[in-house]
Chains A and B, each alone.
Chain A
Amino acid sequence: DGGITQSPKYLFRKEGQNVTLSCEQNLNHDAMYWYRQDPGQGLRLIYYSQIVNDFQKGDIAEGYSVSREKKESFPLTVTSAQKNPTAFYLCASSIGQSWYFGPGTRLLVL
């Protein structure tokens, strides 16, 4: 089945540590996205990539980094510079105006 895989479902991080969230898609989509979800704030765009080896900052990129070395993979690193990283993170891919979302990763800072 084609789709988007995010792992793990839950991730715990100690303060001061970097952590990387995985996102893999087998839909052969060029475009991929990372969104952060907080209660009452909807989904906010962190980074997006329209093609391999290229990516752009979204609305809340500070404290995050990404890479796009392969078409199917778009990992997100939450760095220690992100002051409030506890949130639900959703990865998506798109073709034309059709978006597909992964199941999400919940990041908790201990």
Chain B
Amino acid sequence: AQSVTQPDIHITVSEGASLELRCNYSYGATPYLFWYVQSPGQGLQLLLKYFSGDTLVQGIKGFEAEFKRSQSSFNLRKPSVHWSDAAEYFCAVGASGGTSYGKLTFGQGTILTVHP
């Protein structure tokens, strides 16, 4: 079965600073990887996804993520954070086959606070 770990529960950055949110996954084959963002009391919005091909993925709102198979990681980055980026971020892995196909497994989430 697949699993996802987000090591950082809470990260605080200053507006304009760079950001990196960590995500490590466990899955026996090539995974489908996702990053979602959630504002308080709201549903999830997809930031970006990786299925195959170029390991550097561009998403919405200026976010990007890099798939590193050797490290089982899919870290999310943004070069300059805006106050509106404050939210909770979730990394997720989807199975590409087998009995877990169609299931999306989430990490614990990372809460991002942005100081002015």
Residues of chain A having any CB pair with chain B under 8 Å? 31, 33, 35, 40-45, 48, 50, 58, 88, 90, 92, 94, 97, 99, 101-104, 106
- The answer, yes or no, to whether B43 is at the interface (CB within 8 Å) is yes
Q: Would A103 and B42 be within 8 Å (CB), given that A40-B9, A97-B32 are in contact?
A: yes
* Contact residues on B (Cβ < 8 Å of other chain), bracket: 20 to 34
Residues of B within 8 A of A90 (CB): 43-44
Q: Would A99 and B107 be within 8 Å (CB), given that A90-B43, A104-B42 are in contact?
A: no
Specify which of B34, B44, B103, B109 is in contact with A40 (CB 8 Å cutoff).
B109
Residues of B within 8 A of A106 (CB): 41
Residues of A within 8 A of B108 (CB): 40-42
Residues of B within 8 A of A33 (CB): 104
Residues of B within 8 A of A45 (CB): 103-105
Residues of chain B having any CB pair with chain A under 8 Å? 4, 6, 9, 32, 34, 36, 41-44, 46, 49, 51, 90, 94, 102-109
Shortest Cβ distance from A2 into chain B, in angstroms?
A: 14
Residues of B within 8 A of A41 (CB): 108
Q: Give bound CA distance, A104 to B45, whole Å.
A: 12
- 13 residue pairs A–B, Cβ–Cβ below 8 Å: A42-B108, A42-B109, A45-B103, A45-B104, A48-B102, A50-B102, A58-B103, A90-B43, A94-B102, A99-B34, A99-B94, A103-B42, A104-B42
Q: Give bound CA distance, A33 to B109, whole Å.
A: 19
Q: Give bound CA distance, A106 to B34, whole Å.
A: 24
Residues of A within 8 A of B102 (CB): 31, 48, 50, 94
- Pairwise interchain contact A48-B43, C-beta atoms closer than 8 A: no
New A-B pairs, 15, CB < 8 Å, besides A43-B90, A44-B106, A50-B102: A31-B102, A35-B106, A40-B9, A42-B6, A42-B106, A42-B107, A42-B109, A45-B105, A88-B41, A97-B94, A101-B36, A101-B43, A103-B43, A104-B41, A104-B43
